[in-house]
Amino acid sequence: MIKVENVTFRYDRSGEPVLNRINMTIDEGEYIGIVGPNGCGKTTLVQHLNALLYPADGRVSVDGMNTNDESCVEEVRRRVGMVFQNPDNQIVGMTVEEDIAFGPGNLELPSPEIRQRVDESLARVGLKNHAKRQPHTLSGGEKRLVSIAGILAMKPGYIIFDEPTSYLDPSGRDRILSIIKEINKQGIAIIHITHNMDEIVSAGRIIVMNEGRIVFTGSPKEVFGKVEQMKALKLDIPVATDLAWRLKQRGEDIRTDILTIDEACLEILSRLQSLHAS
């Protein structure tokens, strides 16, 4: 479990706090979406979870280890992996397999064990045949997969994805999203930052942030049900929810706790059918 207690953080000492008294917990195997306008502190918050940043006030602990404790930092970073926004700057190896071997190499694992983890991670992201390729010859989506494989090779309990689908085409996006879901099914907790609400409709819990605070949190249905509040924060809601909400505004008697296009179709069809029947 990751515990964030009363965390306040400032980049510069006299300035406004970027994080303001944040409290949250993340359980094993959870899927959490974090949303909020640019500059609301999402990235700053998640960098606290794997000891890349330390709270100025309050405390963060990962499976009982305080991130402020120097002797735990290594283990905290192994347990909480982070896939950064720009995979180009995250890949450090000269070939795909060497990049994936970077993390396990830092853990000082013996070579045969590294080999096994590299092969396993490559298979999990579907890049088995690309082990020897050089990073600059990969497509954007493939680079992202390499950076995910590099984290998987550390065998973490939690993985943070910071806008994992930015700059990707629709097929690349779908591939990444299905891999994230797959990873979650295998028991790894996911912390997924995004601006695209459709990506996190199946998350277990969504945290909405604004100006360094958690504004509200709840299941996707609860969060996206607060359409007015989301709009006030200039945040999107899933397209299907928006559609239902607009129909409701025009006086249609329709459910608004709808998250996906499929659900919207069914709801509208049943509404049409009942109209025909009467």
Partner 1 sequence: MYNWGQYVSGNSIIHRLDPRIKLLSVIVLSILILKADINAGLLLSVFMIAVIFMSRLTFQRVISSLRPFMIFFILLFLLHVLFTDGTPIVRIPFCGLSITHEGFYMGLYITWQFMFLVTGASILTMTTLPSDLISGIEGILKPLRPLGVPTHDIAIMLSLALRFVPTFLGEVDRIKKAQMARGADFKKGNLIKKTKSITSLALPLILSAFRKAEETATAMEGRGYKRGPRTYLRKLHMSSSDYAALVVIAVIIVGIQCMHFLPSA
Write down the least CB distance from residue 135 to partner 1, Å.
7
Write down the least CB distance from residue 164 to partner 1, Å.
14
Write down the least CB distance from residue 160 to partner 1, Å.
9
What per-residue string of b and e applies to 188-203 under the rule 16 or more CB within 10 Å gives b? bbbbbbbeebbbbbeb
Write down the least CB distance from residue 82 to partner 1, Å.
5
Closer residue to partner 1 in complex, CB, 75/257: 75
Closer residue to partner 1 in complex, CB, 25/116: 116
- The bridge status of strand 158-162 relative to strand 80-83 is parallel
Q: Tell whether the torsion through CA atoms of 148, 150, 151 and 156 is positive or negative.
A: positive
Kindly provide the residue ranges of all beta strands, DSSP E only, lying in the chain, ordered along the sequence.
2-9, 19-26, 31-35, 57-62, 65-66, 80-83, 158-162, 189-193, 205-210, 213-218
Please, what is the end-to-end C-alpha distance for the chain in angstroms?
54
Binding map of partner 1 across residues 96-135, x = CB under 8 A, - = no contact = -xx--xxxxxxxxxxx--xx--x---------------xx
Taking CB under 8 A as the criterion, which residues in 208-247 touch partner 1? none
151 binds partner 1 (CB under 8 A): yes
Please pick, from the candidates 95, 196, 202, 219, the single residue that binds partner 1 as defined by CB under 8 A. 95
- List Cβ neighbours of 116 (8 Å cut-off, separation of 6 or more): none
70 binds partner 1 (CB under 8 A): no
Burial class (CB in 10 A: 0-12, 13-18, 19+), 161: buried
Applying CB under 8 A, the residues found at the interface with partner 1 are: 50, 52, 74, 77-78, 81-82, 84, 86, 88-95, 97-98, 101-111, 114-115, 118, 134-136, 150-151, 154
